Amino acid sequence: MVRTCGRSASAAAVALLVAAIACNDSQNPASPKVEAWGTPPPENGELRGVGFIGSGTDIQTFGFDVQSMQARITGLFLGAEPSTSATLITGPTEPGTSFTGFRSSSSFCIDPSHGAEFDAVGHLKEGLTVDTYVAYTVKGCDNGPAGFGVDTWSIDIPSRSYHKDGAVTGDIEKL
């Protein structure tokens, strides 16, 4: 009788091959490289802003400065929606939060080269009842000098089906 490889043996062989390809660093072969898994490193750049969108009781305030350099994303994001007492925070002093992606242009903008966007996991607090972590995306467009109302900003929180965008009272800077 001729023995054949079972599915588990084939799966193990594929897993070992993937690990061997991913661990291409002779100095530290135990740590897989990001590019080996097909995810490009984040682009370099910086997006920062302060202000609000909306009017009346439907406003969203924000302050942020997010930098991406040499595949490392750092910064701080603070957002609030006063009408619901909700706050969203991502930063080094907020455990469990992180910046997970950065793109140095944005199709959200009339001219994509004037914008950038980032993905993050933030600490969401809604009043006294909800205290959780959510993934979100921020897009910002630097369309002119501060104070002219031409910059635009948006935030999406898919797990909450939440989307807001609008003209900024304040300033967005893409560096």
CA–CA distance, 118 with 140 (Å, rounded to integer): 9
* pLDDT at residue 39, rounded to an integer: 59
Q: Rounded to whole angstroms, how far apart are CA atoms 54 and 56?
A: 7
In the prediction, which pLDDT does 2 show? 43
Name the burial class of residue 166, with classes exposed (0-12), middle (13-18) and buried (19+) by CB atoms within 10 angstroms of its CB.
middle
Looking at residue 43, its pLDDT comes to: 80
State residue 40's pLDDT score: 63
Q: Give the other-Cβ count within 10 Å of 114's Cβ.
A: 19
Per-residue pLDDT of the chain (175 residues; tens, 9 = 90+): 444 444 333 333 333 323 333 333 334 334 333 444 455 667 889 999 999 999 988 999 999 999 999 879 999 999 999 999 999 999 999 999 999 999 999 999 999 999 999 999 999 998 877 789 999 999 999 998 777 778 999 999 999 999 999 999 999 999 9
Are 66 and 50 in contact by the 8 Å Cβ rule? The answer is no
Q: Say whether 40 sits in a helix, a strand or coil.
A: coil
Coil, helix or strand for 152?
strand
Query: Which residues touch 170 (CB under 8 Å, ≥6 apart)?
Result: 49, 50, 51, 52, 146, 151
Are 167 and 150 contacting, i.e. CB atoms less than 8 angstroms apart? Answer: yes
| pLDDT, tens digit (0-9, with 9 covering 90-100), for 75-85 | 999 999 999 99
- b/e string for 118-153 if b means 16 or more Cβ within 10 A? bbbbbbbbeeeeeeebbebbbbbbbbeebeeebbbb
